[in-house]
Structure 1
C-alpha cells in the first residue's frame, strides 16, 4: 500500500508528550480523536479515503507513539486539555472534529468549550450521558467499576486472563480471530508490539473514569448546554454495534439542535470496517 505523506509533531503536556500525525491537504482539517481500546492508528484507512483533505490524528498520552508516563489515572478535564494542546500547538483555527468511542465525549466537550473553532462535529459510535439503550462491553464495565478494581487489575495483569477477556469481547463485538483490526490495532494496545510497549496503564486510567464521565456528561445534557450548541453535528454510527447501538445514535442526535443521523453497514469500528462510506459522509456537507 502506497504511503501517504505525514508530518509528525511532538506536543508537550503536563501528562506527557503527545505525538500528532499531520497529513497535509486542502480544506478545513479533520481532527480525529480515538477511544480507550485503541489508538490513532484506527483512523489510517479513513484518512486515506479523505485525501487530499488535511487530516490530523494523535495518540493521547500512554497510547500509540505518545509518551508512556506510567500514570494510572486521568484527571478531570485532562483529555479536553490535551485536545486543546494539540489543536493550539498546530495552530488550527477552524476544524472538523471527529470523535469515536470514548473520544466522542471529549470531542463534544471541546465543541461546547470552543464552538467558534468547530466547523462541524462528527460523532462515530460513541456516547454522551445516559441513554435508554446504552450498554458498555462487559470487559469495559469490569474495568470501569471502582468496586471491582482489585479483580480487574488482577485479571488484566495476567497475560492469559487478558487474552481471554479480549477474545470474549471481540466475539461479542462480532470481530472473529481473522480480523486484521485485532492484530494491527487492539493487540498492540494490550500487549505491545512493533517497538511500542503496551498501553495497559493508560487503558486502566481512562476506563476507571467511565462511570464518573457518564454522570458528568448526563448533567451537561440535563442542563440544556448541548441544546445551546448550534454547530452542525453529524452522528454516524455502524449499526451492527451491539453496545453503542442505533438507540444511542438516536439519543445523541436528539440532544443537539442542528444534527443529522446516518447509519452505516458496519460494526463498532466503522472507520476501519467501512472507510469508504464513512469518508463520503465526512466529505458530504450538504
Structure 2
C-alpha cells in the first residue's frame, strides 16, 4: 500500500442515547488517536492524514446526524450531547488515555471531554479551533447566518433553494480555501454531501441547524469555563497546530488557546488554511507525533 492510500478500517456502529455513531478504527501502535470533525463536514476530512500516521492506532468517527452516522435523532442538541458521543466511542472501543484531535467545533468537544475526564486523556491536538471568545476570532459568514435565531425563516428559504445554497457554499469554500478550486477537495468530499445528501444518506441539515444554533450559547459557556481557571489546571500536554492561511480561526485564536493551557505548544502549519490535516497532512502528522 502506498503511503497516500487510505488503509482499510474496522467499522463500528456505536450506540448513543440518540442513535448510532459510525466509527472507523485503524489498528496500530501506541495510545489511540481519536479525531473529531466540525461542521458542516465529517470524518473524511482526515482521509489524507490517516496514511501519514499508518503505524498508529487511529479512530475517526462521524458525529450524530453527519457522515455515515444515524439520522434519527430528535433535535435540538442536548447539553453535553457531543461530548457524550465522543465518550461513547472511547468507551465502546476500550481506549485508554487516547490522544484527542479536535478540529473546528470538534475542538470544544475534545476540550470539554478532557475537562470532565482529565485522567482519561493522554493529550490533545487542536487544529484550527477555538474555545471561548478571543480578540481575532471570526466565523464564516454562512455559519453566522445559520447560527442567528432571528434569521431562521430566511435560513429555511436559503436551504430549500439548491441554487442559492450552492452559491453560499461556493463562497464559503473560496474563503476557507484560498487558491484554485479543488473539485476533489474537502468541499466535494465532506461538505456537499451534508447539505444535499447522497445515494446512501439523507442530508445533515437538521443536525447542522441544531449545532450552529448552539454555537454562540456554547461560546458563552466556554467563557465561563475559561474564567473558572479550569483549563489552566488541565494537566495534559496540548499541541495547537493551525493552518496559517485560515482567515477566521487564525493565528490570533491559536495564541489565545495557547494562553489557556499550562502545557501547550503552538505549531503553525505553512501552506495550509482551515483544514491543515488535508492541506499539509505530513506536517500535521508531525505535530500529532509530538504528543
Task: Give the TM-score normalised by structure 2.
Answer: 0.95
2:48 aligned counterpart, secondary structure: helix
Aligned pair partner of 2:97 in 81, 87, 94: 94
- The secondary structure found in structure 1 opposite 2:229 is coil
Q: Can you list the C-alpha shifts for 1:226-246, whole angstroms capped at 9, x where unaligned?
A: 111111111000010000000
Q: How far apart are the structure 2 equivalents of 1:51 and 1:93?
A: 19
- The answer on 1:84 being equivalent to 2:87 is yes
CA RMSD of aligned residues (A): 1.3
Task: Assess if the C-alpha contact under 8 Å between 1:71 and 1:202 holds in 2.
Answer: no
1:63-212 map, 5 Å? 63-69=66-72, 71-175=74-178, 176-180=180-184, 181-212=186-217
Instruction: Give the conservation status (yes or no) of the 8 Å contact 2:26–2:57.
Output: yes
* Corresponding residue number in structure 2 for 1:11: 14
Cα distance, 1:134 vs. partner?
0.2
Kept in 2, the 8 Å contact 1:70–1:201? The answer is no
Partner of 1:276: 282
Cα distance in 1 for residues equivalent to 2:5 and 2:197 = 25
| Contact kept? 2:6, 2:48, Cα under 8 Å | no
- What is the count of residue pairs matched by the alignment? 285
Task: Give 4+ residue runs of structure 1 displaced > 3 Å after superposition.
Answer: none
Mapped partners of 1:284, 1:258: distance in 2: 13
Matched, 1:224 2:226: no
Q: Which runs of 5+ in 2 are unaligned?
A: none
| Runs of at least 5 residues in structure 1 that lack an aligned partner in the other structure | none
